[in-house]
């Protein structure tokens, strides 16, 4: 008999570990999403017994993190007063150079680009005790070692470094990353069907997460990236109306199967085969849905600043790209920022490259199908941002 996950038991485990009980802002929709995600996992044939056991631990940790936010808000009430001035969000479908650009942008010492250890251990608000921060960094390194042990290819495609900037999806309660990681089709349908007020509740919770991380560690502006921002873009701009949105674009014939390849390997140590075509169709739908939201949101938004960057242009001339972004943001591209970018590029250019096979047909996709579904997006992008 297949072993299944029980939401109530996972929640009880999280409550026992934290000695906490309820959720505040957006609590009801957070719980509802977790129930849909767990039901999706239970109804799929993706995970073997060991995979289910690992998910039980992972999900308990995630639920405990949701509870810890409420404790921190009670213990540090000034979290809600932390200003978020001129935030910059890098949005993309994934596999479009966002990690590369994020690291280059983070060379600006005026930015607060949250490191992986902060995102994995945000409670209590980090920054007052160096010894405590060092302990969290070490804990993140040990966790990365476990990832490398079970799914070594993942880190070759998308490296995880404890003290370097990483995805904000670690502190986003719900998003497309969960749907893709677990090939959770019912969960994706739930996520797509969220109403505006429900999206706003989830984004209000994300805002509190940012404020908590900046209570004791602030820069002049917040800088983050997440593929889940694309799906939640209307709610993101409702919550941060004067944000700068850096939109990365890559040919979907490359981006879609590349992301499939990454997520295929995320659970490669404890999943059954045979779900690749489902993953391909899901990823394509996530891509089209996200681009439709981007096109509609940019057309309707009057306050945010949108900057568009093509993947090929970023790779061809990264420094020029960063300089252009800085000018559009009205930030000085300082000599220090430039020197740090050059040093980062020198290190990055000497690092070994891992080439993974992400052919479309591995995931049940064809060029014709991708091009047909992405036709409106391609026309829009060519008008808005002609290739250099």
Does residue 14 form part of some domain?
A: no
What CATH number corresponds to the domain at position 98?
3.40.50.300
| 42 in a structural domain | no
Read off the DSSP letter of residue 308. Answer: E
Looking at the 3D structure of the chain, how many domains does it have? Answer: 1
Answer whether residue 150 is part of any domain. Answer: yes
**Domain span at 163:** 85-170+199-384
**Residue 23 in domain:** no
For 214, 339, 358, the CA distances from 88, given in Å and listed in that order, are: 14, 21, 30
Whether 204 contacts 69, CB under 8 Å: no
| Inside any domain, residue 49 | no
Pair of tokens at residue 167: 């995805």
Under 8 Å between Cβ of 112 and 219: yes
Q: Are 13 and 238 in contact (CB under 8 A)?
A: no
296 domain residue, yes or no: yes
Residue 272 CA to chain centroid, in angstroms?
Answer: 25
Q: Per residue of the chain (388 residues), give pLDDT as tens.
A: 467 899 999 999 999 999 998 898 899 999 999 999 999 999 887 888 888 888 999 999 999 999 999 999 999 999 999 999 999 999 999 999 999 999 999 999 999 999 999 999 999 999 878 899 999 999 999 999 998 988 888 888 889 999 999 999 999 999 999 999 999 999 999 999 999 999 999 999 999 999 999 999 999 999 999 999 999 999 999 999 999 999 999 999 999 999 999 998 887 667 766 668 999 999 999 999 999 999 999 989 888 899 999 999 999 999 999 999 999 999 999 999 999 999 999 998 866 666 767 899 999 999 999 999 999 999 999 999 887 7
């Amino acid at each position: 008999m297949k072993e299944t996950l029980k939401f109530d038991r996972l929640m009880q485990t999280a409550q026992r570990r934290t000695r906490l009980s309820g959720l505040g802002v957006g609590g009801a929709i957070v719980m509802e999403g977790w129930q849909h995600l767990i039901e999706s996992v239970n109804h799929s044939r993706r995970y073997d017994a060991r995979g289910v056991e690992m998910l039980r631990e992972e999900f308990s940790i995630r639920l405990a993190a949701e509870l810890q936010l409420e404790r921190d808000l009670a213990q540090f009430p000034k979290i809600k007063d932390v200003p978020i001035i001129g935030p910059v969000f890098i949005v993309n479908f994934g596999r479009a150079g966002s990690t590369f650009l994020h690291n280059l942008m983070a060379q600006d010492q005026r930015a607060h680009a949250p490191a992986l250890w902060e995102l994995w251990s945000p409670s209590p608000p980090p920054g007052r005790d160096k010894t405590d921060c060092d302990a969290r960094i070490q804990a993140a390194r040990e966790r990365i070692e476990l990832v490398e042990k079970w799914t070594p290819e993942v880190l070759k495609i998308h490296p995880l470094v404890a003290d370097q900037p990483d995805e904000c999806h670690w502190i986003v309660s719900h998003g497309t990353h969960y749907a893709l990681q677990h090939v959770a089709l019912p969960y994706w349908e739930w996520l797509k069907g969220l109403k505006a007020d429900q999206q706003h509740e989830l984004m209000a919770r994300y805002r509190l997460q940012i404020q908590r991380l900046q209570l004791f560690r602030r820069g002049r502006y917040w800088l983050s990236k997440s593929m889940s921002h694309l799906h939640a873009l209307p709610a993101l701009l409702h919550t941060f109306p004067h944000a700068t949105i850096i939109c990365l674009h890559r040919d979907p014939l490359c981006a879609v199967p590349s992301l499939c390849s990454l997520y295929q390997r995320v659970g490669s140590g404890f999943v059954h085969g045979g779900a690749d075509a489902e993953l391909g169709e899901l990823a394509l739908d996530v891509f089209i849905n996200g681009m439709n939201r981007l096109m509609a949101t940019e057309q309707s938004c009057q306050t945010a600043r949108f900057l568009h960057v093509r993947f090929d242009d970023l790779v061809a001339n990264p420094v020029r790209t960063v300089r252009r972004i800085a000018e559009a943001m009205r930030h000085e591209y300082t000599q220090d920022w430039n020197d740090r970018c050059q040093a980062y590029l020198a290190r990055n250019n000497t690092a070994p490259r891992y080439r993974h096979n992400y052919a479309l047909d591995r995931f049940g996709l064809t060029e014709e199908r991708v091009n047909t579904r992405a036709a409106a997006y391609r026309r829009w992008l060519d008008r808005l941002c002609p290739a250099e």
